Amino acid sequence: MKDLEQLREQLDDVNLEILKLINQRALLVQDIGQIKTKQSMKRFDPVRERDMLDQITSQNDGPFEKATIEHIFKEIFKASLELQEDDHRKALLVSRKKKPEDTIIDIKGAKIGDGNTHYVIGPCAVESYEQVEKVAAAVKSKGIKLLRGGAFKPRTSPYDFQGLGIEGLQILKRAADKHGLAVVSEIVNPAHIEEALDYVDVIQIGARNMQNFELLKAAGDVNKPVLLKRGLSATISEFINAAEYINSRGNGNIILCERGIRTYEKATRNTLDISAVPILKQETHLPVMVDVTHSTGRRDLLLPTAKAALAIGADGVMAEVHPDPAVALSDSAQQMDIPMFDHFIEELKEMDQRIKLVGEKN
Ligand code: PEP
Ligand code: MN
């Protein structure tokens, strides 16, 4: 019995020794990782790994077999590599680890990310001044600041209405100025960014362009807030990296917008990934909005999904409104008319107040 006790004590010591050594090894791997990052070198080097394994197994006198030793060391190598990846993630400019406090973006006095709910409302596409102005008046009457409208429309079919281009931006600005609103509009071509700066207060980058890296870089090079939409099939990690492209060029004023992802479900146009909202809020310091129009593609689901967005902690909601949706040149099935919009906002404001009351009580 005494022998057993003694052996166990020795084993405990060896365990601690191994622990100390693998952590010592991990520190070295982290240092190597930093050098590799600086030199843009790939973290995983299979040739180097093979050399290390050969060196180790050639010195192995047992009792473990070569294959067992290889297996154990490969696990240690893998864990170290993951550690490097964690460090890399930690270093992302958009990550909460980098900047714990929320980013608040001031758009003509509307402070996105300040804890209040903000709305981005307007037609799918700019069709005429009269059309946009009617929506702008309704938006203003609800105390909303951000007017949206598509001037450059990235349509799935090349034969569908492509938008009015710069003329559309001019219309948006004229209607927004009349009512003291800010303009949010999508830009699809990096060459248009400079010109758009005269008309828009927020550059929207659409789902189809979330990984258009040249566009992301061009938006990152200017001093204008960007509303970045999640790609149709983008993972949350890809979405965060797209935001990082913008931030890495110096523009940190980014609003993330969940707009539904493609799944096998056909009941809605896309599947609203509502859990992306708290994940993005945890992982990044950026404000997060939910576009209920494109995520559902169904008028009857706009209000319930917007309520879900508020309940889960979104900083804002985007929705499309058209004075006469039946004749809209795009997305006619899913835009709200103005009476429906009025009801939509009233319901959401009421819910917002209830959420705030509960928050105060807690
Ligand atoms: C839009 O908001 O006008 C739009 C085209 O949305 P998405 O890029 O999300 O499809
Ligand atoms: Mn649309």
For 226-272, how does the pLDDT look when each residue is reduced to its tens digit (9 = 90+)? 999 999 999 999 999 999 999 999 999 999 999 999 999 999 999 99
| Number of domains the chain is built from | 2
**CATH number assigned to the domain comprising residue 288:** 3.20.20.70
Q: Note whether 166 and 71 are same-domain residues.
A: no
Task: Find the ligand nearest to 320 CA.
Answer: 2
For residue 99, being part of any structural domain is answered with no
31 and 173 both lie in a single domain: no
Question: Where a domain ends, among 91, 122, 141?
Answer: 91
Note the residue count of the chain: 362
Residues with CB under 5 A from ligand 2 (ion): 124, 331
C-alpha dihedral, 172 to 178 to 183 to 189, nearest 10° = 30
The whole domain housing 34 covers 2-91
The dihedral formed by the CA atoms of 34, 40, 46 and 51, expressed in degrees to the nearest 10: -60
167 in the same domain as 55: no
Q: Which of 186, 211, 256 to mutate to test the pocket of ligand 1 (most atoms within 8 A of CB)?
A: 186
Q: Encode the chain (362 residues) as per-residue pLDDT tens digits.
A: 779 999 999 999 999 999 999 999 999 998 998 888 888 788 788 899 999 999 999 999 989 999 999 999 999 999 988 887 766 656 799 999 999 999 999 999 999 999 999 999 999 999 999 999 999 999 999 999 999 999 999 888 999 999 999 999 999 999 999 999 999 999 999 999 999 999 999 999 999 999 999 999 999 999 999 999 999 999 999 999 999 999 999 999 999 999 999 999 999 999 999 999 999 999 999 999 999 999 999 999 999 999 999 999 999 999 999 999 999 999 999 999 999 999 999 999 999 999 988 888 77
Task: Say whether both 31 and 138 belong to one domain.
Answer: no
Can you tell me the distance from the alpha carbon of 249 to that of 232, in angstroms, rounded to the nearest whole number?
Answer: 24
Q: What is the DSSP string of 178-243?
A: HHT-EEEEE---GGGHHHHTTT-SEEEE-GGGTT-HHHHHHHHTSSS-EEEEPPTT--HHHHHHHH
| Domain shared by 341 and 268, yes or no | yes
Residues 145 and 215 in one domain: yes
Pocket test for ligand 1, best of 119, 229, 318 (most atoms within 8 A of CB): 229
Comparing CA positions, the residue from 325, 319, 358 lying closest to residue 144 is 319
> Do 72 and 123 share a domain, yes or no?
no
One domain, residues 47 and 185: no
Interval between CA 230 and ligand 2 midpoint (Å): 14
* Residue 337 within any structural domain of the chain: yes
Beta-bridge partners for 107: 110
Do 52 and 111 sit in the same domain of this protein? no
Note whether 225 and 282 are same-domain residues: yes
What is the domain-level CATH number for residue 27?
1.20.59.10
Output the CA–CA distances (angstroms, integers) from residue 25 to 56, 80, 92, in the order listed.
14, 8, 24
Token pair 């057993």: residue: 4
Predicted model pTM: 0.80
Take residue 299 and report the two structure tokens written for it: 């008028």
* Judgement on whether residues 62 and 121 belong to the same structural domain of the protein: no
Phi-psi region of 230 (alpha: psi -120 to 50; beta: other; left: phi over 0): beta
Show the beta-strand stretches assigned E in 217-354. 226-229, 254-258, 288-291, 316-320
59, 154: one domain: no
